[in-house]
Amino acid sequence: MASKFDQQKTKHQLFHVSISLATVLVCMTYMQFQRNWANVGNLWNSLILPIVSIGELLKVILARYYTQTMDNSGQRQRKPSQKFTLKELAGGLFLQCLCTLLYAFICIILGAPVLQNYEQTFVLSLLLTLQTTSPTIFLLGGSGALQLCFCEKPDTITKSEDTAIGLFKYNALGAILGAWAGSVVAPLDWDRDWQAYPIPNVVGALIGCALGNIYACSRILYATAKVYLNRKRNN
């Protein structure tokens, strides 16, 4: 984190983390009050995927808002590239499909049923795609996200987009580790309905996402407190 305090960036970060935590809270509340836990892995009878999709889109809209705000306030930023051309939309959709297939393959390699539970595996894979790859694609477009995958930041990336991407990393890492950790309870002989695949993995991905954002929030608050104390000490 930079030693110089950037108020706009800090506000952006805190609002971003708040959206992430609110999305997880809504998902967990929804699962708590629905009657059938088996619907968590159902594509059409579960609201988990729509809720997460809306949350990720809100974070992209937030980054767009702060890009516009900083431009209006006189802070010069790189001009963002056109991300909503037909070519970019098709490339972004194709990239998300590839990521979903990759996650499905990894789920099967790690123990998911091969000849059954296709829908459940697809739901889990799509959830991981939404939490890891989709936000960057929504923000930078297909070519920008692909370029970022090869550790090269696009030349047209703005300061606000760079801030959002940094927070997306905590979101993605938490979701992946959480989904993997959720597999621990599956083989335990507890005979609970929520142990059925992919419920522990979905819940683990959501909790991991929340923990990743809590860690990011703690870093933001620590950096802010450090700047405040330094200013107070100098005064």
What string of H, E and C letters represents the secondary structure of the chain?
CCCCCCHHHHHHHHHHHHHHHHHHHHHHHHHHHCCCHHHHHCCCCCCHHHHHHHHHHHHHHHHHHHHHHHHHCCCCCCCCCCCCCHHHHHHHHHHHHHHHHHHHHHHHHCCCCCCCCHHHHHHHHHHHHHHHCHHHHHHHHHHHHHHHHCCCCCCCCCHHHHHHHHHHHHHHHHHHHHHHHHHHHCCCCCCCHHHCCCHHHHHHHHHHHHHHHHHHHHHHHHHHHHHHHHHHHHC
- Please give the Cα distance from 130 to 137 (Å, whole number): 10
- pLDDT value at residue 72: 61
Q: What is the mean pLDDT of residues 140-167?
A: 84
Q: Model confidence over 170-208: pLDDT tens digits?
A: 999 999 999 999 988 877 767 788 888 899 999 999 999
Given a cut of 90, is residue 142 above it in pLDDT?
no
pLDDT: which is higher, 89 or 132: 132
- pLDDT value at residue 1: 40
Given a cut of 50, is residue 233 above it in pLDDT?
yes
Average pLDDT, the chain: 87
pLDDT: which is higher, 52 or 184: 52
Model confidence, pTM = 0.89
Given a cut of 90, is residue 220 above it in pLDDT?
yes
- Please give the Cα distance from 156 to 141 (Å, whole number): 11
Q: What is the mean pLDDT of residues 109-125?
A: 88
Given a cut of 60, is residue 82 above it in pLDDT?
no
- Please give the Cα distance from 154 to 138 (Å, whole number): 14
Given a cut of 50, is residue 2 above it in pLDDT?
no
| Range from 40-44, 62-66, 164-168, 218-222 carrying the lowest mean pLDDT | 40-44
pLDDT: which is higher, 18 or 191: 18
